[in-house]
Amino acid sequence: MLLVFLSTLPPTIPCIFLRNLRQALRLSNVIAIMLLFLCGYFFGRHAGLRPWRCGLVMVIVGGAMVGICIALGG
Compute CA distances 21 → 7, 9, 34, 64, whole Å. Answer: 21, 17, 20, 21
pTM of the predicted protein model? 0.76
Q: How many separate domains does the chain show?
A: 1
- For the chain, the C-alpha Rg in angstroms (whole number) is 14
What is the tens place of the pLDDT at every residue in 41-52?
A: 999 999 999 999
Which range of residues forms the domain containing residue 62?
Answer: 2-71
The single-letter code of the amino acid at 68 is I
Given a cut of 50, the residues of the chain with pLDDT beneath it are none
Cβ–Cβ < 8 Å for 36, 66: no
